[in-house]
Amino acid sequence: MTVAVYVGPEPVPVLIDAVRRAGGQVVPLERAEAIVYYGNDDPAEIRSMIHEGIRWVQLPHAGVERWAAAGVITEHPVFTAATGSYGPAVAEHALALMLTAARDLHRHARATRWGSNTSREFAGSTVAIVGCGGIGRALIGMLEPFGCPVIAVTDRGDAPGAVKVVPRARYREALPEADYVVVAAPATPDTRGMIGAPEFALMRKSAWLVNVARGGLVVTDDLVSALRAGDIGGAALDVTDPEPLPDGHPLWGMENVLITPHCANPRPAYWRGLAERVTANVRLLGAGAPLEGRVSPSQGF
């Protein structure tokens, strides 16, 4: 069955090609049964585009908290996200942050004179991954050559390669054992602020926090306090709250903090992952099969 798809409001060529690669037909919105959305991310924009003939809407990001909070996500039409499509790229960034922290590269690379060796081995470190979706599962595989025991926080019941699996409601149990705590959970009302002062108190004083999810999952003021007090070893952040992090914020001046500007998913990987998701879902919709990356209205991810 040929699927009639509207790509827009920005008609991105790579997404148009992805639809056609699956045998779909790119059509004006009024004739479409599906929307591959790429625009300004305004929930009102998507809401205005949906008509009674639309059966499926593909969102361009893995995180859908903006649309979930606005009540845009519904059972009909079905909404899908890019969840899992960007997992390997973001996991690679998380690994790079941990290696940088372990080897103290953020200090050594900036040095202007010869100094003492403060690096340490990363191999064998215990890594707790809070949220084992596409990012977490990809990271487990990348950690295997380093011999890192992994504690996975997930409600899926299993996480191949992890030595221990902890349900999400008991995520704090994973913190005391970890040398690195990697936050890779979706942003929902339940996960906002899930890492704050009580959680930092449970972590080892040498442990590093690594956040590649959303900045709002970490209470920034509590993080600053924990770092100043020496309650944790450091923080490596690809995302912050607020974001972008303002000039002059205390985190910028801390030696044991690594900050990257929400760049864990390089643009080529972003477009490749999104295009692959679009092609797969156009084919699945045409075949009447369940779609990949379906968003639950009740869970918000």
The residues, ordered by sequence, that sit 6+ positions from 295 with a Cβ below 8 Å of its Cβ are 59, 64, 68, 73, 79, 80, 81, 83, 301
Neighbour-count burial for 244-257, b at 16+ CB within 10 Å, e otherwise? ebeeeeebeebebb
Q: Are 221 and 232 in contact (CB under 8 A)?
A: no
Give the type of residue at 288: G
Q: Which two tokens stand for residue 277?
A: 């998701």
Adjacent-strand bridge partners of 4: 25
Residue 282 contacts residue 5 (beta carbons within 8 Å): yes
The answer to whether residue 249 is catalytic is no
User: 55 an active-site residue?
Assistant: no
Identify the DSSP state of 145.
Answer: G
Helices (H) and strands (E) in the chain, counts: 9, 12
Catalytic residue among 20, 107, 262, 294: 262
- Residue tagged active-site, from 61, 93, 214, 277: 214
> d(Cα 255, Cα 29) in Å, to the nearest integer?
51
Distance, CA of 277 to CA of 51 (rounded, Å):
23
Q: Which residues contact 236 (CB under 8 A, 6 or more apart)?
A: 97, 98, 100, 101, 208, 209, 210, 211, 257, 258
**CA 146 – CA 125 distance, rounded (Å):** 8
Whether a cis peptide bond, with omega within 30° of 0, leads into 268 is no
Radius of gyration of the chain (CA): 21
Q: Which of 45, 173, 243, 292 is catalytic?
A: 243
* Annotated catalytic residue 108: no
Residues classed as catalytic: 214, 243, 262
